[in-house]
Amino acid sequence: MTREEWVATIHPEDFEAVVVELGAAIDSGCPYQSEFRALTPSGEVRWLASRGQIVNDADGRPARVIGTISDITPRKQLEEQLLYATTR
């Protein structure tokens, strides 16, 4: 997946937080971790967990990201159900 393809999937309400988290990882050189909503091509909302490391080129500029993205939608749905059940 290209950067442009990945960025296009991020839910508009979560976009800024994801950008801030990635920017912090780029600035610090530390691994990043993020949970955010994504939109599928059919318009469905899915929750994703992304974690990775920014890899710099020979000049020290960010060149790519090595990491994983996992669908955590079932976990988020369960968390929402538990929260609803405990606040009723």
pLDDT score recorded for residue 4: 85
How many CA atoms within 13 Å lie on the side-chain side of 49? 7
Instruction: Determine contact, residues 36/10, Cβ cutoff 8 Å.
Output: yes
- For the segment 24-82, what is each residue's pLDDT rounded down to a tens digit? 999 999 999 999 999 999 999 999 999 999 999 999 999 988 999 999 999 999 999 99
pLDDT of residue 2: 79
For Cα atoms 68, 71, 77, give the angle at the middle one, nearest 5 degrees: 145
Please provide the CATH number assigned to the domain covering 3-86: 3.30.450.20
CA distance 50 to 21: 11
